[in-house]
């Protein structure tokens, strides 16, 4: 019986990992599509959302089945419950990647109004947080999850920096307003991806320690 539930938990891990890899790849490609002005890359991101949704449903079904048939306890039960909630966070990361791709499609055929280096760096930090949070979850590593949670302020600061620049550009020329607004939505989507990484890190803490924490932040 023990070996059986271990096999099922391993299968669950693989599905969560696959879904997370897809969401991470979608995030990378959504920003790359913006930078390279690559419409095909952006379309690929949007189409991949269906595969994420399919795995999402498979994970839901597998969690219900394991709980019903195996009645897991202690650490295994925490991991399985957390997997269900992390599943939701990963799906939201993918949704935000799709949002970035859709807004990027409306920008790449317009004159470029700003340098994208801060957006690229913001994406890099958000992806690192997302990847690190998943590793902390799989490894049941409290210290790693703590580090991820602390990095969220870096993404918030980057979003604020980008917002201020876009506001200045909008004031300087009304022709910039539409693109500035769309870039604002892209920056906000990246911030939300970092938030989901933080949520996963909190769940990793729950799996590692059994303690439930809520990361409450006031954003200006």
Res 83: pLDDT:
87
Q: Which two tokens stand for residue 217?
A: 């932040």
pLDDT tens-digit readout, 75-127: 778 888 888 899 999 999 999 999 999 999 999 989 999 999 999 999 999 99
Cβ–Cβ < 8 Å for 192, 100: no
What H or E segment, with its residue span, contains residue 146?
Answer: helix 142-172
Q: Can you tell me which residue has the tokens 């879904």?
A: 19
What's the full length of the chain, in residues? 220
Res 66: pLDDT:
82
- Is the Cα torsion angle 46, 117, 216, 87 positive or negative in sign? positive
pLDDT tens-digit readout, 156-172: 999 999 999 999 999 99
Judged against a pLDDT cut of 80, whether residue 128 lies above it is answered with yes
Secondary structure (H, E, C), 163-198: HHHHHHHHHHCHHHHHHHHHHHHHHHHHHHHHHHHH
- Model confidence at 213, pLDDT cuts 50, 70, 90, reads low
d(CA 169, CA 146): 37
Instruction: Give, in words, the CATH class of 2-209.
Output: mainly alpha
Res 79: pLDDT:
83
Q: Can you tell me which residue has the tokens 């690192």?
A: 128
Residue among 92, 95, 17, 16 at smallest CA distance from 59: 16
d(CA 182, CA 161): 16
Residue among 95, 106, 49, 102 at smallest CA distance from 195: 95
Backbone angles phi, psi at 112, to 5 degrees: -75, 125
pTM value is 0.90
Cβ–Cβ < 8 Å for 190, 122: yes
Going from N- to C-terminal start, the domains of the chain cover: 2-209
- Is the Cα torsion angle 84, 89, 93, 95 positive or negative in sign? positive
Percentage of the chain surpassing pLDDT 70?
93
């Amino acid at each position: 019986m023990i070996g059986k539930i271990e096999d099922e938990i391993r299968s669950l891990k693989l599905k969560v990992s696959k879904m997370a890899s897809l969401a991470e790849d979608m995030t990378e490609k959504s920003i790359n599509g913006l930078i390279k002005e690559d419409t095909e890359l952006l379309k690929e991101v949007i189409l991949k959302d269906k595969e994420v949704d399919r795995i999402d449903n498979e994970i839901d079904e597998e969690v219900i089945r394991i709980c019903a048939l195996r009645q897991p306890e202690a650490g295994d039960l925490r991991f399985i419950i957390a997997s269900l909630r992390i599943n939701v966070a990963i799906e939201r990361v993918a949704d935000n990647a799709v949002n970035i791709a859709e807004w990027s499609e409306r920008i790449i055929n317009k004159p470029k109004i700003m340098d994208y280096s801060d957006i690229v760096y913001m994406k890099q930090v958000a992806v690192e947080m997302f990847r690190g949070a998943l590793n902390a979850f799989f490894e049941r590593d409290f210290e790693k999850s703590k580090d991820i949670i602390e990095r969220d302020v870096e993404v918030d600061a980057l979003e604020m920096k980008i917002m201020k620049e876009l506001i200045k550009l909008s004031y300087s020329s009304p022709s910039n307003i539409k693109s500035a607004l769309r870039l604002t939505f892209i920056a906000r989507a990246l911030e939300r991806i970092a938030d989901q990484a933080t949520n996963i890190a909190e769940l990793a803490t729950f799996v590692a320690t059994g303690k439930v924490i809520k990361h409450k932040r006031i954003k200006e």
